[in-house]
């Protein structure tokens, strides 16, 4: 057999044959079986023959443990060379551009309900079957994941996997951003997630699921995808965000319903209703960097004039919130703003596709603005249509894309949420770092579309 063109079919005997089709492995035997390539974890030859392991994706993993199955086929000495080539061909189909046998630093948030159990029952068996090397560490306090990322050896692991909600990825990205080699660290260390929280937006966008077994499979088969990150400057603080920034209704829904986590995703809907009922507005001034333009000369001058004690781990194109607003930015007073929500990903929680036009690394953020004049009828319509990705169909919802912005509240109190974390209620400035971050995703260039 030509080693450059290995056979797509391996015949075990007269009754059993294994054939590589376009998207799946077809097994011909009494009761034929088809296994899609994405579900195949490993294939190897040992003394007792060929073994193929795969995840049975039709079995609900949350009812027991990760449903890993194995097929065994005896081979003769005369078949070994052919089967070796066929097995490599199978793995090439199963993994495509994805790296095999990944080295994973796994961080577990023990304060996240059942995170360690989900890792042990649903994710670890899949990592093991795929011959991934895993180094597991439980975080001991708030910010610990960031400290681990800040000090991690970049050449020791292929990805940092967070068993948590979206809070741990936030910490990890910020830990990488605090390093002296922040650009190199963020550009090379992939971040992934086993969903164990209430929102799990990262898992929904990268793997299209909040099932921990399927997310683990997504990591095993994941390819590196560049992800836009954003710098946030507030006072003398410099942090990064990977998911969202919010003020008003949606920030209140997130931060003021922590005590309702037992409700799951329903707590966000409850929060929307409760906040709208208060008819609260958040007067502020917004300033946007128009899309398609270059940084102004004023912005460049202000960068060199930043205070010396300002903690900047990443280069800032437009200066900080302490600088003057660049000359070429659009300034927009909003006296009746009820909700301001900025998304870096399509999906913000299960079945909630707020930003259908978001792309992983286009260099832009999607902004949603709603005034308190919306009224109850339009509010109810928004609650129904926004999660379905129909934001552009709503007359009272304003959408725009920006590469940078500044928000300055005029009220003395309120809530600002960044990736679900509470920030002080004061002016902050945001700018996009196009494609700076790395994640492990089911696709190399797009978010997953659910529903």
- Residues classed as catalytic: 166
Q: What is the DSSP secondary structure assignment for residue 120, as one 8-state letter?
A: I
Q: Which residues of 176-204 are buried (b: 16+ CB within 10 A; e: fewer)?
A: bbbbeebeebbbebbbbbbbbbbbbbbbb
Say if CB 446 and CB 253 are below 8 A apart.
Answer: no
d(CA 240, CA 428): 12
d(CA 340, CA 247): 5
Say if CB 161 and CB 101 are below 8 A apart.
Answer: no
SS3 state at 355: coil
Say if CB 102 and CB 160 are below 8 A apart.
Answer: no
Strand order, beta sheet including 365-371: 398-402, 365-371, 337-343, 244-248, 416-418, 421-423
List of residues 6+ apart from 252 with CB closer than 8 A: 271, 275, 280, 415
Say if CB 391 and CB 375 are below 8 A apart.
Answer: no
């Amino acid at each position: 057999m030509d080693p450059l063109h290995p056979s797509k079919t391996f015949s075990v005997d007269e009754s059993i044959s294994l054939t590589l089709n376009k998207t799946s492995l077809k097994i011909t035997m009494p009761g034929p079986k088809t296994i899609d390539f994405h579900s195949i974890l490993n294939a190897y030859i040992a003394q007792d023959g060929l073994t193929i392991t795969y995840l049975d994706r039709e079995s609900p993993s949350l009812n027991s443990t990760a449903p890993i199955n194995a097929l065994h086929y005896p081979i003769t000495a005369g078949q070994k060379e052919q089967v070796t080539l066929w097995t490599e061909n199978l793995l090439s189909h199963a993994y495509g551009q994805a790296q095999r046998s990944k080295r994973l630093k796994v961080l577990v948030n023990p304060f996240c309900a059942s995170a360690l159990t989900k890792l042990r029952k649903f994710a670890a068996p899949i990592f093991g079957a795929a011959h991934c090397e895993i180094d597991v560490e439980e975080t001991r306090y708030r910010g610990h994941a960031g400290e681990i990322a800040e000090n991690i050896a970049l050449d020791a692991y292929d990805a940092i996997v967070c068993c948590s909600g979206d809070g741990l990825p936030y910490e990890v990205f910020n830990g990488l951003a605090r390093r002296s080699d922040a650009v190199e660290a963020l550009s090379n260390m992939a971040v992934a997630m086993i969903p164990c929280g209430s929102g799990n937006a990262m898992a929904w966008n990268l793997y299209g699921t909040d099932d921990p077994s399927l997310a683990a499979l997504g990591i095993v088969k994941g390819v590196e995808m560049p992800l836009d990150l954003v710098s946030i400057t507030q006072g003398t603080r410099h942090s990064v965000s990977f998911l969202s920034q919010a003020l008003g209704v949606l920030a209140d829904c997130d931060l003021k319903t922590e005590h309702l986590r037992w409700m799951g995703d329903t707590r966000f809907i409850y929060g929307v209703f409760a906040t709208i009922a208060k008819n609260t507005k958040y007067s502020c001034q917004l300033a946007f960097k128009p899309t398609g333009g270059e940084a102004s000369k004023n912005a460049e001058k202000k960068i060199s004039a930043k205070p010396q004690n300002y903690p900047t781990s990443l280069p800032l194109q437009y200066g900080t919130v302490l600088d003057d607003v660049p000359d070429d930015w659009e300034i927009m007073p909003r006296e009746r703003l009820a909700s301001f929500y900025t998304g870096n990903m399509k999906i913000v929680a299960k079945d909630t596709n707020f930003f259908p036009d978001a792309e992983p690394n286009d260099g832009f953020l999607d902004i949603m603005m709603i005034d308190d004049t919306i009224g109850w009828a339009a509010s109810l319509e928004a609650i129904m249509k926004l999660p379905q990705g129909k934001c552009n169909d709503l007359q009272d919802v304003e959408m725009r894309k920006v590469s940078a912005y500044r928000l300055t509240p005029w009220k003395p109190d309120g809530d600002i949420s960044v990736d679900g974390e509470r920030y002080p209620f004061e002016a902050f400035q945001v700018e996009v770092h196009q494609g700076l971050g790395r994640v492990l995703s089911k696709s190399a260039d797009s978010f997953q579309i659910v529903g």
